[in-house]
A and B are shown apart, each in its own frame.
Chain A
Amino acid sequence: IAGITQAPTSQILAAGRRMTLRCTQDMRHNAMYWYRQDLGLGLRLIHYSNTAGTTGKGEVPDGYSVSRANTDDFPLTLASAVPSQTSVYFCASSEGLAGGPDTQYFGPGTRLTVL
């Protein structure tokens, strides 16, 4: 059982380019999340999804979009990358709905550098 996989592991991107970070889970969890983690700051929620076909905005959604076409996949797209989007991005999932008492399981992260 893989749990949650993310791709790529790391990426260097020129400003203005479009980039999609991939996330796949094999636990049949309902909710999925995208976070960014920056030095000295807590994890910040970008977007989340409680079920296929629905998505919601988190704390820092600007510049990012997501889709949830099925239960397993939750890609994050940066339409036009900017240097302030340099960060480590974590995908996570939980069995229950976002905000509930369920444990969140995290993927290994994607380290993104925008130059």
Chain B
Amino acid sequence: GQNIDQPTEMTATEGAIVQINCTYQTSGFNGLFWYQQHAGEAPTFLSYNVLDGLEEKGRFSSFLSRSKGYSYLLLKELQMKDSASYLCAVTDSNYQLIWGAGTKLIIKP
């Protein structure tokens, strides 16, 4: 079956760096997305990776290794507003988007 694994919850300190991992086993691969979802709100797009390597966008970076079925989202200079759930989603060979359950990130002062 298809599966995306992310840690359920992580805690980090304001101003620090945190890495949220995502591993996937899907039938094929056609891209990986990261979305941010604040409690009670809709998901919003953060990043898209289709080739191996690191994509940097301000304080957020996303890394992909297709051979390992692995991605991570790196958040630097954490701010209290970064407290949210972070969703990993993979497009499989049938161009279906498979979503992970999300990682709830708690930022402490």
Contact = CB atoms under 8 A, between A and B. Distances in A.
B45 A43 contact: no
Contacts of B43: 43, 90, 104, 106
A108 B42 contact: yes
Contacts, number: 52
Contacts of A105: 45
Interface residues of A, number: 21
Interface in B55-109: 87, 89, 91, 94-102
B12 interface: no
Contacts of B4: 42
A100 B50 CA distance: 11
B102 A42 contact: yes
Given A44-B99, A45-B96, A108-B41, A103 B48 contact: yes
Contacts of B100: 42
B27 interface: no
A100 B95 contact: yes
**What's the dominant secondary structure at chain A's contact region?**
loop
Contact of B30 (A42, A97, A99): A99
A25 to B, nearest CB: 13
Find the residue from B42, B44, B48, B102 having the highest chain A CB count within 10 A.
B42
A100 B42 CA distance: 20
Given A101-B31, A106-B43, A41 B94 contact: no
Contacts of A99: 30, 91, 94-97
A57 to B, nearest CB: 11
Contacts of A98: 95, 97
Contact of A43 (B31, B91, B94, B99): B99
10 contacts: A41-B101, A42-B98, A44-B99, A90-B43, A97-B95, A100-B91, A101-B91, A105-B45, A106-B42, A108-B41
